[in-house]
């Protein structure tokens, strides 16, 4: 009987068999502890009725454990060198498909329609490359795919920003964007020692449950997210001064924007970090009532 891929000994064996050298630029840190993985999969409640989309399977450490529980696993790996490795390590699991594609370029919607439409639920599980965690998550969420929940390993600081409360240092436009689409919370801390090579940052697993519909109703999401980002351009500045800096010659609009904020029930001297997503929604809807 073969050892789990997610062990130090088997991982070393696979790496040496293929002469594989880690690429730092692709965020390659492989899991060598199956206990961490089992905890996540328990939390994610993965069963045969579940289809899982994985980003970045590496040599298959996480993929193998998912395959033992899920109905189907579709894993996107950008690094071509890993494809023969994965074909070998995951050969015993007939419910796994590896796609050699950049997840940011992939047509995930079409894949779901073709491959996963028979499943009761679709879950994304990933130990993400840390250099593009936010783009990958936002790319999934903004496409409004039929995905039920996400369990994602990421750098601790990013996880804290995603799950932050207002009036904290970690709270910002990323918190609001995630809150718009999902209910997010931290599931567990993960020590550096469970990776090979060990990363130089701490890691955390975040759960994001997709909302049936966005938390606030806005027609024009671009404008809404411009308003949320604009409030945090300089964290120490008031919301009024941050919004004025969005315009060339912004000072000219001081009284208009002040009036707009007041009409939305927001004191213009407040800071962005004190505003909830509902507050931003109120500002957005007042803006829509104004002539231009
Ligand atoms: N899942 C494996 C594990 O837990 O041991 C590997 C995780 S490692 C942190 C991240 C993986 O994502 C690497 O295998 C890397 O090659 C892959 N990757 C990096 N950028 C990617 C992208 N844009 N699309 C798909 N995979 C990517």
Tokens representing 236?
A: 């120490």
Q: What is the mean pLDDT of each run of 10 residues along the chain (292 residues)?
A: 92 98 96 97 97 98 98 98 98 98 98 97 97 97 96 98 97 98 97 96 97 97 96 96 89 92 97 98 91 56
What is the whole-number distance in angstroms between the Cα of residue 55 and the centre of ligand 1? 6
Distance of CA 142 to the CA centre of its chain: 11
Any binding-site annotation on 127?
yes
Residue nearest to atom 6 of ligand 1 (CA): 58
Predicted pLDDT at 250: 81
SS3 helix, strand, coil % of the chain, rounded to 5? 45, 20, 35
Predicted pLDDT at 136: 98
Q: Which residues line ligand 1 (CB under 6 A)?
A: 26-31, 55-58, 61-62, 76-79, 102-104, 127, 129
Q: 131-167 as b/e, with b when 16 or more CB fall inside 10 Å?
A: ebbbebbebbbeeebebebbbbbbbeebbbbbbbeee
Predicted pLDDT at 141: 97
Phi/psi for 183 (5° steps) reads -105, 115
What is the whole-number distance in angstroms between the Cα of residue 17 and the centre of ligand 1? 20
Predicted pLDDT at 54: 98
What's the 3-state SS for 71-124? CEEEEECCCCCHHHHHHHHCCCCCCEEEECCCCCCCCHHHHHHHHHCCCCEEEE
What is the whole-number distance in angstroms between the Cα of residue 201 and the centre of ligand 1? 16
Which stretches of the chain are assigned E, i.e. beta strand? 30-31, 50-55, 72-76, 96-99, 121-127, 149-155, 182-190, 195-196, 203-210
Predicted pLDDT at 9: 97
Is the pTM above the cut of 0.90? yes
Q: Among residues 102, 17, 103, 108, which one has the least CA distance to residue 59?
A: 17
**Interface predicted TM-score (ipTM) of this complex, two decimals:** 0.99
Residue nearest to atom 14 of ligand 1 (CA): 58
Any binding-site annotation on 160?
no
Cα separation, 72 vs 53, in Å, equals: 9
Residue count of the chain, please give it: 292
Any binding-site annotation on 262?
no
Compute how many other C-beta atoms are within 10 angstroms of the C-beta atom of residue 47: 12
């Amino acid at each position: 009987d073969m050892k789990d891929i997610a062990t130090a000994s088997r991982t070393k064996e696979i790496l040496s068999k293929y002469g594989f050298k880690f690429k730092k630029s692709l965020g390659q840190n492989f899991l060598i502890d199956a206990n961490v993985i089992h905890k996540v999969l328990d939390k994610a409640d993965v069963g045969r009725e579940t289809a899982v989309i994985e980003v970045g399977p590496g040599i298959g450490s996480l993929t193998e454990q998912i395959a033992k529980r899920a109905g189907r696993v579709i894993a996107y790996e950008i690094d071509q060198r890993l494809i023969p490795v994965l074909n070998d390590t995951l050969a015993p699991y007939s419910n796994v498909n590896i796609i050699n594609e950049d997840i940011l370029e992939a047509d995930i919607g079409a894949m779901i329609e073709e491959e996963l439409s028979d499943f009761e639920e679709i879950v994304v599980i990933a130990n993400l490359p840390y250099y593009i965690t936010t783009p990958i998550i936002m790319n999934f969420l903004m496409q409004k795919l039929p995905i039920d929940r996400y369990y994602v390993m990421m750098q601790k600081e990013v996880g804290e920003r995603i799950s932050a409360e207002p009036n904290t240092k970690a709270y910002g436009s990323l918190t609001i964007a995630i809150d718009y689409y999902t209910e997010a919370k931290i599931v567990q801390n993960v020590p550096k020692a469970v990776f090979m090579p060990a990363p130089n940052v701490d890691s955390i697993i975040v759960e994001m449950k997709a909302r049936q519909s966005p938390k606030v109703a806005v027609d024009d999401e671009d404008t809404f997210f411009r308003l949320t980002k604009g409030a945090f351009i300089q964290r120490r500045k008031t919301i009024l001064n941050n919004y004025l800096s969005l315009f060339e010659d912004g000072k000219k609009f001081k009284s208009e924007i002040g009036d707009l904020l007041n009409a939305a029930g927001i004191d213009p001297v407040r800071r962005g970090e004190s505003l909830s997503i509902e507050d931003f929604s109120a500002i957005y809807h007042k803006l829509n009532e104004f002539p231009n």
